[in-house]
Amino acid sequence: MKHSILNMMAAAVLLPAVAFGAEKQKLEIVSDNLKLTLMVGEDGRLYQLGFGDASADIAIPDKELPREMEFVPAYGNGVITEPAIQATHTDGNTSTDLRYVGYRTDTVAPGITHTVISLKDPAYRFFVDVNVKCYENSGMMEMWNDIRHDERGGKVTLYRYASASPLLNSDQYWLTQFNGRYKREATLEEERLGQGMKVLDSKLGIRATQYRIPSFILAYGHPADEREGEVFAGSLRWSGSYQLSFDKDWNNRLRVLSGINPLGSHINLERGEEFATPAMLYVYSKNGKGDTSRRFHRWANQYAVRDAARPRPVLLNNWEATHCDFDEERLVGLFDGAKEVGAELFLLDDGWFGNGEYSRDDDKHGLGDWEISTKKLPRGLSYLAKEASKRKVGFGIWLEPEMVSPKSALYEQHPEWIITQQKREPILGRHQEILDLTRPEVQQFEWEVIDNTLGPNPGVSYVKWDCNRYVTQPGSGYLPAQDQSHLMVDYNKALYRLMDRFATAYPDVTAMLCAGGGGRADYGAMPYFHSFWPSDNTDPLGRIKIQWGFGHFFPGSTMAAHVTRMGKRHLKLAIDVALSGTFGIDLALDKATPEERRQLAQGVKLYKDEIRDLVMFGELYRLVSPYENPMASMSYVSKDKKEGVVYIYQIEDGGVPQVRLDGLDPKRRYTVREVGLPDKMSPRFLTATYTGQELMERGLDNPLSSQFDSAVLRVSAL
């Protein structure tokens, strides 16, 4: 049997179609430590031989491979497992068969290669291009499919269109999902997969999550460990409904299908039109999930988060302090507080717009009427921005451009603009409706909401973009009857165009992504934002676990973490938890005691002087999990291993006597000192020096054991 090997790191080549009965060819695509090994069979189909450890060399098998090992299984002509592609052709044929045509690999930027493997149905002019982008800095492999046809006689209907469908191979698979609900986002739940299909999905249409983020961890052999074992981490770059399916077959192979949730979203594809699926992200490690998280963060900071290196300002937000109940005087008073504690920006939340009967005094009125409230803020946004600036504090604003309150002038003028189903009573969510972004007038309107707010007010240097409900009636008054199923896909594509226009037109405006808490924490939207709001739960006890969950995929620099009064915890615990993300404050500073304000000011100073750079640029190490212990501990260590910050949070009574650090240089000596101590509080940890090896093997003695206690420790190489 003749074999050949094509290494995808090679220069760009486009190979001719493989004739049936031709020799087998092996294709290898390598992203640092992760390798995808494919094979073109003698039948011209594309099979997968391996996905995992880049150092493993997988030989071309002599025997024929079963159809379950096709890399992009297509429905209807021999595939009996879950398909990645399902299409009905223009003549009504419901089957598809994909054969290899050729491939090319290009270096698209230093350290990034892009491979395209072209497949075609031999009986139809129906094409699938498999895309694999590799990022050398992190081992990230990004995969998606471009689908098009050139069939006569109408449209091809796509019923399934997965972004990626690799096969995994182990004796045991342990799946961690990050589920939850409002105020309980990103909660870890791990299970051993049995036979059959396990589906993690969302059907919310315009936000990927409320109940589960579009990301997962898959460990081989045993539950995922921080430091050991083979682990994959995956995340879908899509902010709408998604589906991640894990299909374990009779040979114990696991097919992982990921992509847009096809439920109610079949696509009628015009001749010549291309449908690009969103990308699926994969990293892999032989050293546990701590390493997969750091790989994700490294990749994100370089390629997927807006201005990742720009220091995130310390915010004073007013939502928890005032809700919609404020006026100019109260806000200016809060600016004074912001200056006093050292905050760098004041973020004016919901409630600044709407007039007359539609004044935004509660969440039932005014969305859509984006004129400033003359009752609350008679001198306008520019006045506020100037007052903030006099105190050397920046000024930002909350927007929710995609929504409308039925009690608004906008709704009176354009009731037809909302997403709803004909002949059904419109269903409200948080008393509001969603504007149909597939409609060009709505696209223009939403752009003007942003542009008319920021354009005339150059003093506004920050935007929090919110989205407080999801779709329950996916119908469009704009799309034709036969294309109603395009609504959710077209909405999200239009949303990304809008976000992109915003980011391009206002490059100096910093932006936070919010969706009623962490409803849009995904890498589809993150390129347009600097940070996201993980949850409306700011009780530090709740936040410890929520930030722990998101941190599996998102770097600390993207996670907004504010000190509030929620849960009525000690201020120290609230500050210490916020110090592990993008630090901010959201409490009525004008009602805080002088001691509390001093403590907050000390927290802000510590963050700016000693911690922000570590959160922004350091590497995350999760040390003690709050899921298995009465406490949590994590750290950031600078890339040169010279500086670190360690956080310890007691969730319940009970101790872990030693906390083993990680990521240090074993041979260096480090000083450990406790920081973030309010006045009159003595350090509980001795200021002492240790070798990195001692800190990582024996660990740091931990004197804490009472619920709500917390500590922040700075580690510095001598």
Q: Where are the alpha helices (DSSP H) in 607-718?
A: 612-617, 692-697
Which phi and psi (to 5°) does residue 177 adopt?
-110, 165
- Which lies closer to ligand DGJ via its Cβ, residue 560 or residue 715? 560
Picking from 524, 516, 551, the residue whose alpha carbon sits closest to that of residue 240 is 524
Tell how many helices (H) and how many strands (E) occur in the chain. Answer: 12, 39
Instruction: Give the one residue of 238, 319, 445, 506 binding ligand DGJ; rule: CB under 6 A.
Output: 319
Q: Which residues lie across from 403 on neighbouring strands?
A: 434
Smallest distance from ligand DGJ to CB 319, Å:
5
Nearest approach, Cβ of 635 to ligand DGJ (angstroms)?
28
90 vs 468, beta carbon nearer ligand DGJ: 468
List strands edge to edge, sheet with 46-53. 3-7, 24-31, 34-40, 46-53
Is the Cβ of residue 489 or residue 587 nearer to ligand DGJ in the bound state? Answer: 587
52 or 516: CB nearest ligand DGJ? 516
Distances (CA, A) of 631 to 403, 414, 549, 567, 603: 40, 52, 15, 17, 22
At closest approach, how far in Å is the CB of 318 from ligand DGJ? Answer: 10
Of the candidates 662, 682, 593, the one whose C-alpha atom is nearest the C-alpha of residue 621 is 662
Query: Is the Cβ of residue 151 or residue 466 nearer to ligand DGJ in the bound state?
Result: 466
- How far apart, in Å, are the Cα atoms of 677 and each of 461, 570, 662? 32, 13, 24
Q: Output the smallest distance, CB 536 to ligand DGJ, in A.
A: 4
What distance in Å separates the CA atoms of residue 405 and residue 412, rounded to the nearest whole number?
10
Q: Where does this chain touch ligand DGJ (CB under 6 A) — which range of 13-21, 199-207, 211-219, 513-521?
A: 513-521
Measured from the CB atom, the residue of 516 and 699 that comes closer to ligand DGJ is 516
Span of 365-373, 514-522, 624-632, 675-683 interacting with ligand DGJ by CB under 6 A: 514-522
Binding flag, residue 350, ligand DGJ (CB under 6 A): yes
Q: Per-residue string for binding with ligand DGJ, 379-408, x by CB under 6 A?
A: -------------------x----------
CB-nearer residue toward ligand DGJ: 86 or 322: 322
Report if residue 70 touches ligand DGJ, rule: CB under 6 A.
no
Q: Please report whether residue 446 would count as binding ligand DGJ according to CB under 6 A.
A: no
Q: At closest approach, how far in Å is the CB of 391 from ligand DGJ?
A: 23
Q: Let me know: does 255 contact 268? Beta carbons within 8 Å.
A: no
- Residue 597: HSE in the Cβ half-sphere, 13 Å Cα cutoff: 16
Residue 325 Cβ, how far from ligand DGJ at the closest point, in Å? 12
Using CB under 6 A, which of 118, 453, 468, 650 touches ligand DGJ? 468
Of 131 and 322, CB closest to ligand DGJ: 322
Nearer to ligand DGJ, 349 or 522 (CB): 349
Which residue from 411, 465, 533, 550 is in contact with ligand DGJ, where contact means CB under 6 A?
Answer: 533
Q: How far is the CB of 378 from ligand DGJ (least distance, A)?
A: 22
Q: Is 470 in the site for ligand DGJ (CB under 6 A)?
A: no
**Sign of dihedral through CA atoms 432, 418, 492, 89?**
positive
**CB atoms closer than 10 angstroms to residue 274:** 12
Q: Which 3 state secondary structure label does DSSP give 621?
A: strand
Considering the rule CB under 6 A, would residue 354 count as an interface residue with ligand DGJ?
no
536 near ligand DGJ (CB under 6 A): yes
Residue nearest to ligand DGJ (CB): 350
Q: Which tokens belong to 165?
A: 């469908």
Which pair of tokens denotes residue 231?
């682990």
Does the footprint of ligand DGJ cover residue 349 (CB under 6 A)?
yes
**From 106-114, 277-285, 419-427, 511-519, span contacting ligand DGJ (CB under 6 A):** 511-519
Q: What is the DSSP string of 35-71?
A: EEEEEE-TTS-EEEEEEEETT---PPPSSPPPGGGBS
Give least dist CB 466 to ligand DGJ, A.
5
Q: How many residues bind ligand DGJ (CB under 6 A)?
A: 11
Which structure tokens are listed for 232?
């994959």
Of 514 and 526, the one with the shorter C-beta distance to ligand DGJ is 514
Q: Is 573 helix (H, G, I), strand (E, B) or coil?
A: helix
Looking up tokens 């660990």 gives: 699
Task: Tell me which of 262, 313, 516, 626 binds ligand DGJ, using CB under 6 A.
Answer: 516
d(CA 78, CA 614) in angstroms, rounded, equals 54
Q: Name which of 502 and 621 has its Cβ closer to ligand DGJ.
A: 502
Exposure pattern of 65-94 as b/e (b: 16+ CB <10 Å)?
A: bebbbbbbbbbbeebebbbbbbbbbbeebe
Beta carbon of residue 381, minimum distance to ligand DGJ (angstroms, whole number): 17
Give the SS3 label for residue 289. Answer: helix
Q: Which residues are catalytic?
A: 466, 536
CB-count exposure of residue 546 (10 Å: 0-12, 13-18, 19+): buried
Kindly state the smallest distance separating residue 469's Cβ from ligand DGJ, in Å.
10
Sole window of 110-118, 510-518, 567-575, 618-626 interacting with ligand DGJ (rule: CB under 6 A): 510-518
- The owner of tokens 């690009």 is 276
Among 511, 514, 541, 713, which residue interacts with ligand DGJ (rule: CB under 6 A)? 514
Examine residue 517 and tell whether it contacts ligand DGJ (CB under 6 A). Answer: yes
Q: How many residues does the chain have?
A: 718
Q: Which stretch binds ligand DGJ (CB under 6 A): 42-50, 161-169, 512-520, 607-615?
A: 512-520
Q: Nearest approach, Cβ of 590 to ligand DGJ (angstroms)?
A: 20
Asked whether the beta carbons of 47 and 57 are under 8 A apart, the reply is no
Q: Contact at 8 Å (CB) between 95 and 105?
A: no
Nearest CA to 507 out of 465, 453, 461, 443 is that of 461
Enumerate binding residues for ligand DGJ (CB under 6 A). Answer: 319, 349-350, 398, 466, 468, 514, 516-517, 533, 536
